[in-house]
Structure 1
Amino acid sequence: MKPTSLPISSQSQAAAPQPAGMPFLRLGFRPFYVGGALLAALMVPLWVAMFLGAWQLSPAAPGLLWHAHEMLFGFAVAIIVGFLMTAGKTWTGLATPRGATLAALALLWLGARVASVTGPYVVYAVLDLALLPIVAAILVTLLLRSRNYRNLPLALILALLAAANLVFHLAVLGWLDVSAMSPLYAGLALIIMIECVMAGRVIPFFTMTVTPGLKLVAPVWLERVTLGVTALGLALWVLAPPSAIGLIVLGLASGLHTRRLLAWRPGVTLKRPILWILHAAYAWIPVGLALLALAQLGWVPVSAGVHALGVGATGGLIIGMITRTARGHTGRPLAVAGPEVLAYALVMTAALLRVFLPLLAPALYAWALIATAALWSAAFSVYLWIYTPWLMSARPDGKDG
C-alpha cells in the first residue's frame, strides 16, 4: 500500500533544518545587546557615585579614563559587535559566529569588563585589546568571500578602533608618551563615523518604508562631502590643537548634517516612536559638532560636545537600533509599546540635562550628573526588562536567528 504523502507545506517544514544550539548564542546581537545594555545600566550610576565620593572603587585605570573607556570600548563596542555579527549574515549570506565561538567572543568581552575593576592592568589590557581585531578579521573574511566590498570601510573603522584602543592602553601603562584622552577622543570620533555611515543607509530607508509616496534620494556627491568634511573635522579635533580652521570645518560639518537630517523629513515620523528616536538621536550629531566647533575657541567646554555625541547621538541611536533590530531578528512586530517609548524619552532627556544644564547653571553640575545617571540607567533597565527574555529564547516563529 502506497504511503500517504504529506502536503507540500508539511514536506517543506519537515525538510527545513531545525535551529540548533542555545537560542542565546544563535546570532551576535543576543549576548552583546544584553551585555552592552547591562553595562550601560550599571556603569554610569557607578561612575557618578565614584566621582561624587559616594562609592569607593579603584578600577584598573584612573577613574575618568576608566569611565570614558568603558562607555566607548565596553558599551558602544559591544552593541557595534553585536550588530555587525548579525548584519554580516544578512549582507553576505554567510554564517557568522554562533554557539561556542560566539560564547567565546562574549566571554572575552565580559572578561575585559571584569578585569577593568579587578586588575591587574596588563590582564585588563590584553583581554580588552583582543576582541576588536578578531571581529574585524571575521568581518573582512565574510565580506571578501561574498565580494561585498561596499561594507569593507566598516571593517577598516573597526581596525582603527582597535588601534586607538591599543594607543590608550599603552598610554595608561606609560609605554607611550601621549595623553590617554586623545585615543578616547579618537574612539568616539570613529564611532560617530560608523553612526554617520549607517544612519545614512537606514534612516531614510526606514522613513520611506512607512511613508507611502515619499522618495528620499540624496545626491551621492553631497553624501560623500558630508562624510568627508565630518571625518576631517573630527580628525582636526582629535589630532590638532584648537584653531580657527577646526572651528570652520566642524561648523561646516554641523551644517551639512543638519541639512541631511531635514532632507530625511523627520516630521513624518512623529507617530512612529521606533523611527522618530533615530531622527531625534541623529539630531545630536550636528549639535555635538557645533559644540566641538565652539570649543575650538574655548567658548564652551569640550565635554559638552563629547556628551552630545556620546549620550545624545550614540546613546540615542543605540537604544533605537537595539529595540528595532532585536524585534526584527526575534520575529516580533516593528512597533514599540509605552515602556520602550519611555526608554527613548529617558535617553533624550538625559542628554539634554548632561549637555545643557552644566552650561546654563554650573552650580547644578552635580545634580545634572545624578539626574543624567538615573535617567540613563532607567532607560537601559527598561530595555533589559523587556528584551532579555526575548533575546534568551527562541523565535516564536521557529526560525533560526
Structure 2
Amino acid sequence: MTLPILNNTPTPPAPQGMPWLRLAFRPFYLGAALLAALIVPLWVAVFLGALQWQPAPQPLLWHAHEMLFGFAVAVIVGFLMTAGKSWTGLQTPRGPALGALFLLWLSARVASLVAPYAVFAVLDLALLPIIGLIFLRLLIQSRNWRNVPLALILLLLTLVNLSFHLAVNGQIELDPMRSLYAALGFVVIIECVMAGRVVPFFTTSALPNLKIITLPWLDHTALAATVLGMALWVTGWHSGLAAGALGMAFALNLVRQLRWHPLAILGRPILWILHAAHLWLILGLGLLALAQLGLVTTSLGVHALGVGATGGLILGMMTRTARGHTGRPLAADAPEMAIYVLIMLAAVLRVLLPWLVPSLYLSSLVASAAAWSAAFLIYLWQYTPWLVSARPDGKDG
C-alpha cells in the first residue's frame, strides 16, 4: 500500500486588491510616462508660439519644474517604494494608501496647468516629505543604514522645491532656476549612486563569465567629485573651481564606467541602454565644466543630463524593473528597442546637433521632442496592460 505524500508547505495567500495598486512602480511609472509624453510637446508648442497658454509659473520654469518634480520624482518614488520592500522586507504603501499618494502627485500635475499658483504649490509640496518619511521609517526599522542617504535626499528635495515656490512668488530673493538646478543636481547624485550599484551588477548577472571588480575608493571619489561639482555649479560661487570639480567628476565617472566593460554588452539592449545613459551623465558633467569656462551654453549640459542621462536611465530602469516585477523575461523586444533608440536620438537631437550646427536649433528641438514623446508613448502601449493587470504567474506585486 502506497501512502500519499503530504505537502505541508503552506500555500501563499492569493494577492489582494487591484493589481495596479499592489506596488508603487505600477501607478507611478504609468503616470510618469504619460506626463513625459505630453508635457514636452506642450512646452515646445508654447515655446514656438504655436500655443498661447500661461501655466502657473512662467512657461520655462513650469517646463523645467515638471520635468524634475513631476516626471523624475514620480519614477524615483515608484522605484524606491518598490525597491524598499525588497531592501527592508517590510510592506510599502499599497491599495488605497498607494492610490492616495498617486492621486496627490496627479493632482499637483493638473494644478500646474489649471489651478491658482497657491493651490499648485501646496499640492506640489505635499508628496515628497510624505514619501521621504515613509522610506526613512522603513530603513530605520530594518536597520538598512546604507540607503538612509537616499531618504535624506528626498527630504532635501522638499526644501529645494519649497525654495522654488517661494522664489517664484517673490518671497525670497533667489533665482528660481537655481532651485531647479539644485533639484537636477540631486537627481544626478541619485543616478550616480544607483548606476554604480545596478549597472555592474546587471552586467555580470547577464554575462557570468565577465568579471567586474569594483573599487570602492573609485566609486566614493567619483561620487564626491560629482557632489562637489554640482554644488559649486548650483551656487555659482566660483566658476573656476566648479569647472575643475566637474572636470574631475567627468574623468572619474568615465574611468569607473570603462571598468564596467561597456563594449561587452552591445548585443543586449536592456543593458546597453543603461551604459549609454550613463555616458550621457558623464558627457553632461563635462559640458557643464566647459560651460563654467564660457565655452558652451549651460543648456547643453543641462539637457545632456536631463534628456540623455535621466531620460535614458529612467526608461532603462522602467522597462527592466517593470518586466521583472510583473513576472516577464528580462529581455528587450522590438518595442523596447524602439524606446531605447528613440530616447538616445532625442538626446542627440537636443544636445549634439544644436552644438555642432547651431542654425538647426529649432528643427532639432522639434525633432527631439517628437522622439522623446514617441519613446514614452511606445512604453505606454507596451507596458500599460502589464502594469494594470495581475502577474501571469499569480504572485503578488
TM-score, normalization by structure 1: 0.97
Using the TM superposition, give the Cα deviation of residue 357 of structure 1 relative to its aligned residue in structure 2, in angstroms. Answer: 1.7
Contact 1:258 1:286 in 2 (8 A): yes
Q: Which structure 2 residue ranges, 5 or more long, are not aligned? A: none
Contact 2:160 2:179 in 1 (8 A): yes
1:226 maps to 222
* Aligned equivalents of 1:358, 1:214: Cα separation in 2: 38
Using the TM superposition, give the Cα deviation of residue 218 of structure 1 relative to its aligned residue in structure 2, in angstroms. Answer: 2.0
Using the TM superposition, give the Cα deviation of residue 225 of structure 1 relative to its aligned residue in structure 2, in angstroms. Answer: 0.8
Equivalent pairs, count:
395
Using the TM superposition, give the Cα deviation of residue 244 of structure 1 relative to its aligned residue in structure 2, in angstroms. Answer: 1.6
- Counterpart residue identity of residue 125, structure 1: A
Encode CA deviations 1:116-169: one digit per residue, 9 max, x unaligned: 011200100000000000000000000000000000010011111111111000
Using the TM superposition, give the Cα deviation of residue 220 of structure 1 relative to its aligned residue in structure 2, in angstroms. Answer: 1.3
Provide the secondary structure at the position in 2 that maps to 1:299.
Answer: coil
Provide the secondary structure at the position in 2 that maps to 1:334.
Answer: coil
Contact 1:60 1:66 in 2 (8 A): yes
1:76 maps to 72
Which of the residues 386, 393, 400 maps onto 2:396?
400
Contact 1:208 1:215 in 2 (8 A): yes
Q: How does 1:277-292 map to 2 (within 5 A)?
A: 277-292=273-288
Which of the residues 183, 189, 192 maps onto 2:185?
189
Contact 1:233 1:250 in 2 (8 A): yes
Using the TM superposition, give the Cα deviation of residue 214 of structure 1 relative to its aligned residue in structure 2, in angstroms. Answer: 2.0
Which of the residues 317, 333, 344 maps onto 1:348?
344
Using the TM superposition, give the Cα deviation of residue 356 of structure 1 relative to its aligned residue in structure 2, in angstroms. Answer: 1.6
With over 3 angstroms needed to count, the CA separation of the structure-2 counterparts of 1:123 and 1:213, relative to structure 1, is same
Q: How does 1:57-96 map to 2 (within 5 A)?
A: 57-96=53-92
Which of the residues 163, 166, 169 maps onto 1:167?
163
1:335 maps to 331
Q: How does 1:115-134 map to 2 (within 5 A)?
A: 115-134=111-130
Using the TM superposition, give the Cα deviation of residue 240 of structure 1 relative to its aligned residue in structure 2, in angstroms. Answer: 2.3
2:302 maps to 306
1:23 matches 2:19: yes
Using the TM superposition, give the Cα deviation of residue 62 of structure 1 relative to its aligned residue in structure 2, in angstroms. Answer: 0.3
Using the TM superposition, give the Cα deviation of residue 342 of structure 1 relative to its aligned residue in structure 2, in angstroms. Answer: 0.8
Using the TM superposition, give the Cα deviation of residue 7 of structure 1 relative to its aligned residue in structure 2, in angstroms. Answer: 5.0
1:390 matches 2:372: no
* Aligned equivalents of 2:213, 2:51: Cα separation in 1: 51
* Aligned equivalents of 1:145, 1:94: Cα separation in 2: 9
Contact 1:115 1:124 in 2 (8 A): yes
- Counterpart residue identity of residue 107, structure 2: G
**Structure 1 ranges of 4+ moved more than 6 A:** none
Provide the secondary structure at the position in 1 that maps to 2:55.
Answer: coil
TM-score, normalization by structure 2: 0.98
- Between 237-246 and 190-199, the greater mean CA deviation after superposition: 237-246
1:41 matches 2:37: yes
Provide the secondary structure at the position in 2 that maps to 1:208.
Answer: helix
Contact 2:287 2:300 in 1 (8 A): yes
Using the TM superposition, give the Cα deviation of residue 212 of structure 1 relative to its aligned residue in structure 2, in angstroms. Answer: 2.3
With over 3 angstroms needed to count, the CA separation of the structure-2 counterparts of 1:7 and 1:333, relative to structure 1, is farther
2:316 maps to 320
* Aligned equivalents of 2:124, 2:175: Cα separation in 1: 19
- Counterpart residue identity of residue 374, structure 1: A
Encode CA deviations 1:280-323: one digit per residue, 9 max, x unaligned: 00001110011000000111000000000000000000000000
1:270 matches 2:262: no
1:111 maps to 107
1:214 maps to 210
With over 3 angstroms needed to count, the CA separation of the structure-2 counterparts of 1:17 and 1:5, relative to structure 1, is farther
Contact 1:242 1:297 in 2 (8 A): no
Instruction: State the identity as a percent.
Output: 63
Q: Which structure 1 residue ranges, 5 or more long, are not aligned? A: none
Contact 2:233 2:239 in 1 (8 A): no
